[in-house]
Chains A and B, each alone.
Chain A
Amino acid sequence: MAEERFDVVVVGAGPAGTAAAYTAAKGGLKVALIERGEFPGAKNVFGGVLYRKQLEDLIPDFWKEAPLERAIVEQRLWILGEDSAVTFGHRNYKYKEPPNCWTGLRVKFDQWFASKAEQAGAIPIYETVVTELLRENGRVVGVRTDREDGDLRANIVIIADGVNSLLGKSLGIHREWQPDQVSLAVKEIIALPRQTIQDRFNLDDNEGCTIELIGQTCGMAGLGFLYTNQETLSIGVGVMVSDLRKKRIKPYDVLEGIKRHPMIHRLIQGGEVKEYSAHLIPEGGFDSIPPLAGDGWMICGDAAQMVNAVHREGTNLAITSGRLAGETAIAAHAKGDFSAGALEDYSKAVRASFIYKDLKKYRGVHGLLASGDSEMLFEKLPQALNNAAYEMLLVDGVPKKEKQKIAFRHVRDAAGGNLNLLRLFLKGWRAMNG
Chain B
Amino acid sequence: MSQSIEERLFTIRYKADDKSHLIIKDQGVCETCRDKDCNYFCPADVYLWHEAEKMTSVAYENCVECGTCRLACPHYNIEWLYPTGGYGITYKYG
- Whether A164 pairs with B67 at a CB distance below 8 angstroms is yes
Interface string of B76-94 (1 = CB under 8 A from A): 1000111111101111111
A247-255, A317-325, A331-339, A341-349: which lies at the interface:
A247-255
Given A44-B94, A245-B41, A276-B9, do A145 and B82 touch, yes or no (CB 8 Å)?
Answer: no
- Whether B35 pairs with A271 at a CB distance below 8 angstroms is no
Interface of B, secondary structure class, is loop
A176-184, A203-211, A357-365, A367-375: which lies at the interface:
A176-184
- Whether B84 pairs with A129 at a CB distance below 8 angstroms is yes
Nearest-CB residue, chain A, relative to B7: A273
Cβ distance A275 to chain B, nearest Cβ, rounded Å: 5
Which residues from A are CB-within-8-Å of B7?
273
- Whether B91 pairs with A106 at a CB distance below 8 angstroms is yes
- Whether A274 pairs with B85 at a CB distance below 8 angstroms is no
**Residue B75 at the A interface, CB < 8 A?**
no
- Whether A186 pairs with B43 at a CB distance below 8 angstroms is yes
Most buried by A among B8, B9, B88: B8
A18-26, A277-285, A401-409: which lies at the interface:
A277-285
**Residue B32 at the A interface, CB < 8 A?**
no
- Whether B90 pairs with A146 at a CB distance below 8 angstroms is no
Contact-size category for B: 35 or more
Which residues from A are CB-within-8-Å of B11?
273-276
- Whether B65 pairs with A128 at a CB distance below 8 angstroms is no
Cβ distance A35 to chain B, nearest Cβ, rounded Å: 8
**Residue B29 at the A interface, CB < 8 A?**
no
- Whether B94 pairs with A184 at a CB distance below 8 angstroms is no
Contact-size category for A: 35 or more
- Whether B40 pairs with A248 at a CB distance below 8 angstroms is yes
- Whether B43 pairs with A184 at a CB distance below 8 angstroms is yes
Interface string of A129-160 (1 = CB under 8 A from B): 10000000000000001110000000000000
Docked complex: A242-297 residues within 8 A CB-CB of B:
242, 244-245, 248-252, 256, 259-260, 268-269, 271, 273-280
Across the interface, A110 reaches (CB within 8 A) one of B1, B35, B89, B94, namely B94
Residues on A lying within 8 angstroms of B by beta carbon are 36-39, 41-46, 105-108, 110, 126-129, 145-147, 163-164, 166, 176-179, 182, 184, 186, 188-189, 232, 241-242, 244-245, 248-252, 256, 259-260, 268-269, 271, 273-280
Residues on B lying within 8 angstroms of A by beta carbon are 1-3, 5, 7-9, 11-12, 15, 35, 37, 40-41, 43-45, 64-68, 70-72, 74, 76, 80-86, 88-94
5 closest A-B pairs by beta carbon, nearest first, are A127-B86, A106-B94, A276-B8, A278-B43, A107-B94
Q: 16 interchain pairs (CB within 8 A)?
A: A36-B86, A38-B15, A43-B91, A45-B91, A105-B94, A106-B94, A182-B67, A186-B43, A188-B8, A232-B93, A248-B40, A259-B1, A274-B11, A275-B93, A277-B91, A277-B93
5 additional contacts (CB under 8 A) given A36-B86, A127-B86: A41-B94, A128-B85, A182-B71, A242-B72, A280-B66
